[in-house]
Amino acid sequence: MSMTPEQATWFAGTFEKLVANVGQAVLGKSHVISLTLSAMLAEGHVLFEDAPGTGKTMLARALSATVKGTHSRIQFTPDLLPSDVTGVTIYDQKTQVFEFHKGPIFATIVLADEINRASPKTQSALLEVMEESRVTVDGTTYETGRPFMVLATQNPIEQAGTYRLPEAQLDRFLIKTSIGYPDHASTVQLLSGSSQRDRTSTLQAIITPQAVAEMADLAATTHTDAAVLEYVSRLCEETRNAPETRLGVSVRGAIAMVRMAKVWAAAKGRNYVLPDDIKELAPYVWTHRFVMDPEAEFAGSTPEVVLRRVLAEVAAPQQRAGV
């Protein structure tokens, strides 16, 4: 059953309240907040490639407080072990049974800070939990619950001692974006309230985790016309056929786009997806999934350049509103 116009209106109103509440802690970044919140409602994960001190931790805390969830932070270092992320089974001498002690991955919002500083073995510990929202330790599976989202960060400036994220792991991030520095007015406002170290401490919860899960289920019913699905498929095919790329958008990337577009449309009060939603979201959902040809990259080509050309060359369908 598809979402009704009335449900779409309610969804947009609730979404706006959530963005405004998070915006009290993360000033002047409503677009980034909207993207991150949309990713959560699409049940995906976000990769932030940003300089230090731009408010990534604040965003994670504010999201957690807004949805009345839990929050954890994992500082990725070269000596971090997979069990430090997922948890470990310990033998209790009193009860003479093995007990599983959950790791920091078991939270509503998990901030994986500088994820590219950990070894590939530790990075791979995130693959199952990011894809299936569960962890398997010693043959036993543990669910993370809903909602669950990983906000991973990597510093684009200082690359010494880092491990490049493999394509298989990059593909599991629904979107990639950056917060960036605040504008002048927001910076002045931040400085005027510098005595308050944690601006999330005063935030009130707007919604419960169960209601967030229900919103995610509702967003999944947003109507997506067959013409829009064909448009997404053609765009993905063109990114794979582009001479500048060795690897274009995968099928997982196409599915991620549809999931994200459904939430994005509902957040704007529509119960149907438009081709413009695809165009608007493409830089965030797709560019991190490209593997560029070294010669093309040396010549100055970038994923953003390739994507702009593909979007210009592939004709968007003419969709009737409300279909």
Q: Burial, 124: exposed, middle or buried (Cβ in 10 Å; 0-12, 13-18, 19+)? A: middle
Distance CA(165)–CA(288), nearest Å, equals: 11
pLDDT of residue 322: 46
Number of neighbouring beta carbons within 10 Å of residue 182: 17
pLDDT digits (tens, 9 = 90+) for 204-217: 999 999 999 999 99
pTM of the entire predicted model: 0.90
pLDDT of residue 165: 81
DSSP 8-state code for residue 312 = H
Distance CA(285)–CA(236), nearest Å, equals: 12
pLDDT of residue 321: 47
Q: Burial, 118: exposed, middle or buried (Cβ in 10 Å; 0-12, 13-18, 19+)? A: buried
Angle between helices 251-267 and 30-41 (to 10 degrees): 120
Task: Write out the chain's pLDDT in tens, 323 residues.
Answer: 789 999 999 999 999 999 999 999 998 899 999 999 999 999 999 999 887 888 889 999 999 999 999 999 999 988 999 999 999 989 888 888 888 999 999 999 999 998 888 888 888 888 878 888 999 888 888 999 999 999 999 877 666 667 778 788 888 899 999 998 888 888 898 888 776 777 788 889 999 999 999 999 999 999 999 999 999 999 999 999 999 999 999 999 999 999 999 999 999 999 999 999 999 999 999 999 999 999 998 999 999 999 999 999 999 998 554 44
Number of neighbouring beta carbons within 10 Å of residue 13: 11
